[in-house]
């Protein structure tokens, strides 16, 4: 598992120190799908970058147990960030190329991933020839090309329209249910978090803290119409109430 213990992050700015995260603790089990939700600026993306190693920790620790210490990480950002001069297949294969020679088995795997993502026949297209949703599918394929054990996703569907977002959620669910990779997923959408996750952590306004953990006990596999069930609606409502309550507490603290 990934154990996050009393982690804090402070940025030194010209106007003084800014505490982005304060005393964050959480646990992620192998194969678990975890979502982080909370208001803008609460440090969700900062925490994800700290888990990946892209951001330093001011205090506390992030550890992997022996079972996961050698696990690899794939990352998907809100922007697809594809290389515009590379065809789709070459974009997917970029992480492999950075390590050296590209084996034919990896080329075949890249084609398989594109097929799973509904992009068979688009291998030789350039990013500008695709919609935003299709580009983000390529980004997910690129993150999966080296078969990482842990997948970190920073609002990957945030810039997409509602229908495309639903399609991408269904794709991610399909991939996860086949591979059961460990996923940590940042989103502003409560419904998206409940649909996808085993566990949802709610973060409070800055300085970000874990205010509550919610276990999602809705049976899998989950289809989109589960969102119309009473169980789904009640859990989404409880998470929304927690975020609202955190906001009221933060407002009272600042006004005081």
Segment 68-79, tens digit of pLDDT: 656 788 899 888
> How many independent structural domains does the chain possess?
2
Q: Which two tokens stand for residue 107?
A: 């080329």
Q: Which residue, chain included where needed, has tokens 């992050």? A: 9
* CATH code of the domain containing 44: 3.40.50.300
Domain assignment of residue 215, yes or no: no
* Cα first-last separation, the chain: 40
Q: What is the pLDDT of residues 73-121, one digit of tens each?
A: 889 988 888 999 999 999 999 999 888 888 899 999 999 989 988 899 9
Is residue 227 in some structural domain? no
Pairing between β-strand 182-186 and β-strand 150-154 as defined by DSSP bridges: parallel
Does 226 reside within a domain?
Answer: no
Contact indicator for 91, 110 with CB cutoff of 8 Å: no
Are 92 and 116 in contact by the 8 Å Cβ rule? The answer is no
Output the pLDDT for position 26. Answer: 94
User: Do 76 and 187 lie in a common domain?
Assistant: yes
Residue 167 lies in a domain: yes
Residue 164 and residue 138 share a domain: yes
pTM: 0.89
Q: Do 89 and 43 reside in the same domain of the chain?
A: no
Buried b / exposed e over 97-114, threshold 16 CB at 10 Å, is eeeeeeeeebbebbbebb
Domain enclosing residue 50, as ranges: 1-21+36-70
Q: Please check whether residue 205 lies inside any domain of the structure.
A: no
């Amino acid at each position: 598992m990934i154990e996050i213990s009393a982690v804090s992050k402070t940025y030194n700015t010209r106007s003084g120190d800014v505490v982005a995260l304060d005393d964050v603790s959480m646990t992620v089990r192998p194969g678990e799908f975890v979502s982080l939700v909370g208001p803008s600026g609460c440090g969700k993306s900062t925490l994800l970058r700290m888990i990946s190693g892209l951001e330093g920790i001011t205090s506390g620790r992030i550890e992997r147990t022996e079972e996961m210490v050698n696990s690899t990480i794939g990352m998907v950002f809100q922007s697809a960030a594809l290389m515009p001069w590379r065809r789709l297949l070459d974009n997917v294969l970029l992480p492999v190329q950075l390590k050296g020679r590209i084996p034919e088995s990896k080329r075949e795997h890249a084609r398989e991933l594109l097929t799973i993502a509904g992009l068979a026949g688009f291998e030789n297209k350039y990013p500008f020839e695709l919609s935003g949703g299709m580009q983000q599918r390529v980004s997910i394929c690129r993150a999966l090309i080296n078969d990482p054990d842990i997948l970190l996703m920073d609002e990957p569907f945030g810039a997409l329209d509602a229908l495309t977002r639903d399609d991408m959620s269904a794709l991610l669910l399909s991939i996860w249910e086949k591979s059961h990779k460990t996923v940590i997923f940042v989103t502003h959408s409560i419904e998206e978090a409940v649909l996808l996750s085993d566990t949802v952590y709610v973060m409070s306004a800055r300085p970000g803290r874990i205010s509550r953990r919610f276990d999602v006990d809705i049976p899998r596999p989950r289809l989109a119409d589960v969102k119309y069930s009473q169980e789904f609606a009640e859990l989404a409502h409880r998470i929304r109430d927690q975020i609202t309550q955190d906001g009221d507490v933060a407002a009272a603290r600042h006004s005081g």
